[in-house]
Amino acid sequence: MSKIVGVIPSRWGSTRFPGKSLAIISGKPMIQWVVERVKQAKKLDAVIVATDDQRIADCVNALKIPDVQVAMTRSDHPTGTDRIAEAVESLEADAVINVQGDEPLIDPVLIDELAEVISSGEWDMATAATPMERKEDINDPSVVKAMFNRHGQALYFSRSTIPFIREPESNSTDGIYWRHIGIYAYRRDYLLQLVAEPPCALENQEKLEQLRALDMGCRMKVIKTEDFGIGVDVPEDIAKAEALLAQLN
């Protein structure tokens, strides 16, 4: 049986929202919301918060949630992927699920689906995408588009509008555009290979690190999901998160 660990990268120095991991959302620090949601997943053997800041570590430790650990990591990691790789480098695990530390509404069911896919041994990585419903998102470079084949294998990710619809007047675009959700499952060995590789040309241009994996020939499964969640990127997103939490409760 595979041992699967959920890792939540949580750094202090966010450019747009420093210290956002400890921002209060509906009475609780954001990192607490994320940890509690991740702990609802049934297929994880442990949960690790990978952080470079003692304040975040103290907050997580004070929660005293069973099987939740803190891994102190370097502060100079260029990406969250590099941070989680350091956290699991000496850990006995078969697979790792990277849950963003700014997703207080992450769906535990989605985590379990990713765990099931990555434990099958058929894939190096797995991620998720949701149907794009708002037309304005199609041309928004901050919304990453995912393309995959009939087997769910990732073909490409882009900030650009893909695919291009040559004859929009005669073709329906229903089910064509998919928004990428930034949650990843990795075979542990593959994760360590990934961070050892330098960024590729496409990654440097699009600023999307998953393109490095595709450039390496990664077998990456894209799970279809209706879950969208909400990423808290700037202080203004807190009100949106609180409104969604109120709907759930």
Domain assignment present for 160: no
Question: pLDDT (tens digit, 9 = 90+) per residue, 12-70?
Answer: 877 778 889 999 999 999 999 999 999 999 999 999 999 999 999 999 999 999 999 99
Whether 135 is covered by a domain: the verdict is no
What's the gap between Cα 154 and its chain centre? 15
Read off the DSSP letter of residue 95. E
171 pLDDT band, cuts 50/70/90, is confident
Q: Cα 64 to chain center, whole Å?
A: 24
Length of the chain: 249
User: Is 67 a member of any domain?
Assistant: yes
Which CATH number fits the domain that encloses residue 28?
Answer: 3.90.550.10
* pLDDT for position 65: 93
Q: Domain span at residue 10?
A: 4-127+180-197+216-248
Please state the domain count of the chain.
1
Quote the CA–CA distance of 231 and 20 in Å, as a whole number.
11
Residue 143 lies in a domain: no
List pLDDT tens digits, range 113-149. 999 999 999 999 999 999 998 889 999 998 899 999 9
Amino acid 86: pLDDT: 95
Question: Is 86 among the domain residues?
Answer: yes
Name which of 188, 208, 224, 211 is nearest 114 in CA terms: 224
Spatial CB neighbours of 24, under 8 Å, sequence gap ≥ 6:
30, 238
168 located within any domain: no
